[in-house]
Amino acid sequence: QVFRLPIVVMDRHGHNCSGAVTVQVLPWHRPRVNFSESWRAVTVPEGTGPLEVVTWVQASGDDVRYALLTAAVPALFTIDAVSGEIRSTHRLDLERFPQATHTRLLVRAYEAQAPAVAATMALNITVRPRSWPAPRCVPALYVSQVPETVPPGRTLVVLRCAGPVGALRYALRGAARALFRMEGPQLQVNTTLDYDSELAAAVGFQFAATIVVTAGGQTTQSTRVPVLVTVTPVNEYAPQCPNATAFSVPETAAFSAAVGRVAGTDHDYPLHSIEYGLEERAGAVQPFAIDAHTGWIYVVGPLERGRQRSYRLTVRLTDTHNDVDPAKRRRCLCDVAVHVQAVLGEVPVCTPEVQELRITSKVGGRQPVSRLACQGSREGAALSYAIVRGEERPRRCGARPRAAAWVFSGASRAGNEDRHFRMEGNTLFHVPTGLEQPRTFVLLVEVWGVPGVPRRSTTVILVVHVTPQATTVPPRSTARRSTPWKEPVVITRTEATWSPPAWFVAALAASGALLLAALGCAARTLLQR
């Protein structure tokens, strides 16, 4: 905001002068990074180990980072730039570092994207001396790498510790303490360190623990030795073949058509890390190839059933990434059978193509009606059968109808939806459903070979007269012709209308007029400005 102040100056003789002062008020920008306290005093016991948390600081702001501004030699403390945790860099031993008794640290907090936006606070760290020095151990930090096959009881490290008085006691702390044990100063493996387990994968195959060495039976007089053990993989298991691997492929399969997948298994971590390959046979040309990573088998050559009906493939499975040494790999061989299916070159032939059948429906299970006699163009070519259309016709009395005269004249039930009949292989079965009157069904059965584009098929017409077991067939001399009665369908259509009263129409018109008048007044006012 800007303020203008007129000022008039007048002396005692009446002379005056005037001027103006302009005052501009600027907004106050509060720092976006701020500590809740300007300083803090912290006391830690002597003997605090390296990388132990001494204290932590926290500042308000967006994406805050931390840094120490105090330069000390040697640097006894460090700060985590993200969390603000302050840790010791050495064991706080007053005999070795007498200057550690009182240390003043200046902590700076700043925004990661704008380092100029910052705040500072002071830390006074006091190391409280102990009456008895803690034990000293060599090594002070143990880091090791062992294979997963290391046996239980194996000694990993022997600590050499010296204490002031009394006997030293050794104990394990940490999440992985169950995997190790202490036999005096010896750190030993307690159980199998399985690299292939979910526990190892969850911790990144690194197990951490802490050895606590106590002198004189007092917990205040203790030394902590961090332990980090990394487990390395060992190729223990060979890949395994799937059971009974056999595939079928039509002889007209195109190039790169998928035949099947060989799903090998391997229990080493990472699980099922396998490379696939085909073993070559002397003097044999294999029209197949396998994907090295997925195990899918594809067609890469012509397949002629007349030349060879089946192929025996030997698939090689080799595990990968299961050992530190890449040369230590295990493999196995799997036998895979690929059967070539004959594809019909011509339409299947069925004898006869039209059949008229009469059966008596019996109460109970299904009953066979007829077995179709069909043959493909090649010996051994498999045929498939399906009811693709079905229709029920009224029963004709009098002259016997000819089977060839049955033609689908109108809408019918596709695929035999009434479920009176079922195809199993080349056999037609009747499924009794409690028929009360004689009924006649006309069925269309499609017969085809191995699926292809386009599908070459033929159709067989079956006229089936079904008579219930408890119903006698009416005499043929009757001249009546019965037509099934269909119940008429009544469709009711309801339309909803609304007729408002006269007063509502008048009120709506008046409201519209008032709204238009108000809008006109508002527009006129705006134009006059």
Q: Three-class SS string for 200-233?
A: HHHCCCEEEEEEEEEECCCCCCEEEEEEEEEEEC
Whether 176 and 271 share a structural domain: no
Whether 459 and 353 share a structural domain: yes
Whether 80 and 176 share a structural domain: no
Sort 138 into a burial class: Cβ within 10 Å, 0-12 / 13-18 / 19+.
exposed
Residue 205 inside a domain? The answer is yes
The pLDDT tens digits of the residues spanning 230-286 come to 999 999 899 999 987 899 998 888 888 999 999 999 999 888 899 999 998 776 778
Domain boundary among 447, 468, 489: 468
The pLDDT tens digits of the residues spanning 152-196 come to 999 999 999 987 656 788 999 888 888 999 999 999 999 989 898
Whether 273 and 298 share a structural domain: yes
Average per-residue pLDDT for the chain: 82
Other beta carbons within 10 Å of 328: 12
Other beta carbons within 10 Å of 441: 20
CA distance 52 to 88: 6
Residue 25 inside a domain? The answer is no
pTM: 0.44
CA distance 398 to 477: 6
- 436's tokens: 């009360």
Residue 523 inside a domain? The answer is no
The pLDDT tens digits of the residues spanning 411-437 come to 344 445 567 888 898 899 988 877 778
Residue 18 inside a domain? The answer is no
Residue 101 inside a domain? The answer is yes
Whether 155 and 228 share a structural domain: yes
The SS3 of residue 426 is: coil
Whether 203 and 153 share a structural domain: yes
Please count the structural domains in the chain.
Answer: 4
DSSP string computed for 473-502: PPPTT---------PPPP-----------H
Whether 446 and 353 share a structural domain: yes
Domain boundary among 437, 468, 499: 468
Whether 374 and 422 share a structural domain: yes
Residue 417 inside a domain? The answer is yes
Whether 54 and 160 share a structural domain: no
pLDDT band per the 50, 70, 90 thresholds, residue 46: confident
Query: 195 and 269 in contact (C-beta within 8 Å)?
Result: yes
Residue 526 inside a domain? The answer is no
CA distance 321 to 204: 16
Sort 11 into a burial class: Cβ within 10 Å, 0-12 / 13-18 / 19+.
exposed
- 99's tokens: 């200057």
Residue 150 inside a domain? The answer is yes
Whether 123 and 144 share a structural domain: no
Residue 402 has pLDDT above 70, yes or no: no
CA distance 391 to 58: 83
The pLDDT tens digits of the residues spanning 51-96 come to 899 999 999 988 899 999 876 667 889 999 999 999 999 898 888 8
Domain boundary among 110, 128, 146: 128
Whether 224 and 156 share a structural domain: yes
The pLDDT tens digits of the residues spanning 293-309 come to 999 999 998 887 667 88
| Domain around 222 | 136-232
Query: 196 and 268 in contact (C-beta within 8 Å)?
Result: yes
Query: 342 and 253 in contact (C-beta within 8 Å)?
Result: no
Question: Residue 278 pairs with which residues in a beta bridge?
Answer: 315
Whether 324 and 254 share a structural domain: yes
The pLDDT tens digits of the residues spanning 126-149 come to 998 776 677 889 999 999 999 999
Residue 511 CB partners (closer than 8 Å, separation 6+)? none
Element of type H or E holding 508: helix 502-528
CATH code for the domain in which residue 266 is found: 2.60.40.60
- Structure-model confidence comparison of residues 339 and 215, the more confident one: 339
